[in-house]
């Protein structure tokens, strides 16, 4: 079987540092923090009162009032990001058979805010069930994929991947494989999350995963810093249009870059904690390199999962050193979560956008909020602290790991 090349021809994003791809990329290169006090609800009684919220987003700019009521925020973000990516790609019925365009779009949690609001009203009311007829569609993690296909008339493969914070990385990998193995020509893929609500924040707070640096939100997300104390929750969505190379060339599409391999694994260790030696991360990166047919020494950049948790950051760095050995100091490593916070099921998508733009533009966005070296982390590693790193980026990896021990690594290549 001849394996087909997969390129990226469209990008869309709505993030805490920019509500479209140009603004998102500018925010990353500028080292902008999207963190602040939570405004979605009264968090005064919570230990964590900060988050990276999407700003200046008015759903009525994109949906009429009736349609907006049917959609949880995560689905709104997904549809808006997909609209941007589809427009950016230039695919239309004149150059693409929409019966063969698939949508694989992820969410780790789905419409948790909608579920919370409806159940709160039910629990504090008179006990008579007056739930919205849209509550089930609003909460389903797969419904964003459905909405995108309905809006644009895409009749190809359609589903969601759910693997916690690796969800949208897994969606991209599924999209890559569908095209790579000849089962599709175009896949709209990515992920979305909108979990900044009492049960979302409270739930992660209960696991002790969140930063409580409430007095200084903009510096709270501190990947690889000695004083990191947990991640800052983010929200938003990212979307990529994946396309078979010849299909893209035939319609004269612009090409951002290429996906050449992917690897997945399980820690088989703990429901929330990573394997202490990064065993699953080692396996996913090795498998991605093998799938791509390249050696570790060819990697120039790694966009880490880098959540700013005490255990997770160390485990990932141990895994990187195990895979890349003496080449590790030559790799520019970063964590976009220092700026965007952790988008959970949407993280892999927006970070894949960052990774492919790093390849295209030969610049690695910074990791901000580094104040103190961690004695448990090798000081010879280039974490791109503080400012962007201008360098040649021909091959890069984006990592995403999730509760349950799910690991996903994607290899991107500059398109020449």
* Active-site choice (147, 152, 275, 305): 305
Dihedral class, residue 82 (left if φ above 0, else alpha if ψ from -120 to 50, else beta): alpha
* Active-site choice (342, 359, 370, 406): 342
From CA 122, how far away is CA 81, in angstroms rounded? 32
Q: Which of 363, 414, 365, 50 is nearest to 259 (CA)?
A: 414
From CA 303, how far away is CA 311, in angstroms rounded? 18
User: Are 153 and 98 in contact, with CB atoms under 8 Å apart?
Assistant: yes
Helices (H) and strands (E) in the chain, counts: 13, 14
- 7, 158, 179, 292, 349 from 245: Cα distances, Å: 6, 21, 10, 16, 20
Element (H, E) at 139: helix 135-139
Strand pairing partners for 257? Answer: 8
* Paired tokens of 377: 């982390």
* Active-site choice (48, 52, 152, 165): 165
Q: Which of 15, 410, 347, 355 is nearest to 166 (CA)?
A: 347
- Residue found by looking up tokens 């791509």 in the block: 292
342 is catalytic: yes
- Residue found by looking up tokens 């900060």 in the block: 50
52 is catalytic: no
From CA 49, how far away is CA 306, in angstroms rounded? 21
Query: Would you please indicate which residues are annotated as catalytic (active-site) residues?
Result: 165, 305, 342
């Amino acid at each position: 079987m001849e394996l087909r090349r997969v390129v990226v021809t469209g990008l869309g994003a709505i993030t805490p540092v920019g509500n479209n791809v140009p603004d998102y990329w500018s925010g990353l290169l500028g080292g902008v923090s999207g963190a602040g006090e939570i405004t979605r609800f009264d968090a005064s009684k919570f230990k964590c009162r900060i988050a990276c919220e999407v700003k200046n987003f008015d759903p009525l700019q994109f949906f009429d009032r009736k349609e907006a009521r049917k959609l949880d925020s995560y689905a709104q973000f997904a549809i808006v990001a997909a609209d941007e990516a589809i427009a950016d790609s230039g695919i239309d019925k004149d150059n693409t058979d929409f019966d063969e365009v698939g949508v694989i779009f992820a969410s780790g949690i789905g419409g948790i805010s909608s579920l919370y609001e409806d159940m709160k009203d039910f629990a504090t009311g008179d006990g008579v069930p007056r739930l919205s007829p849209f509550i089930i569609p609003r909460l389903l993690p797969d419904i964003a994929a459905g909405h995108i296909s309905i809006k644009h008339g895409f009749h190809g493969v359609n589903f969601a991947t759910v693997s916690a914070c690796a969800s949208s990385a897994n969606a991209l990998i599924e999209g890559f494989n569908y095209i790579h193995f000849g089962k599709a020509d175009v896949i709209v893929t990515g992920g979305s999350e909108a979990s900044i609500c009492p049960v979302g924040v409270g739930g992660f707070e209960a696991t002790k995963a969140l930063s409580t640096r409430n007095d200084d939100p903009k510096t709270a997300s501190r990947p690889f810093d000695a004083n990191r104390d947990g991640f800052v929750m983010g929200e938003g969505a990212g979307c990529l249009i994946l396309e078979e190379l010849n299909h893209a060339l035939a319609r004269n599409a612009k090409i951002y870059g290429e996906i050449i391999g992917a690897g997945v694994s399980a820690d088989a260790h703990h429901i929330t904690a990573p394997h202490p030696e990064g065993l699953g991360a080692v396996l996913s990166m090795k498998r991605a390199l093998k799938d791509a047919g390249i050696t570790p020494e060819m990697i120039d950049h790694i966009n880490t999962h880098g959540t700013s948790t005490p255990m997770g950051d160390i485990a990932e760095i141990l895994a990187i050193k195990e895979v890349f050995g003496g080449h590790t100091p030559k790799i520019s490593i970063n964590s976009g979560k220092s700026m965007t916070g952790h988008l959970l099921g949407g993280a892999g998508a927006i970070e894949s956008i960052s990774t492919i733009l790093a390849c295209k533009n030969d610049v690695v966005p910074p990791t901000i909020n580094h104040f103190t070296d961690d004695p448990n982390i090798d000081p010879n590693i280039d974490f791109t602290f503080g400012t962007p790193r201008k360098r040649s980026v021909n091959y890069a990896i984006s990592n995403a790991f999730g509760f349950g021990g799910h690991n996903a690594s994607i290899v991107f290549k500059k398109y020449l």
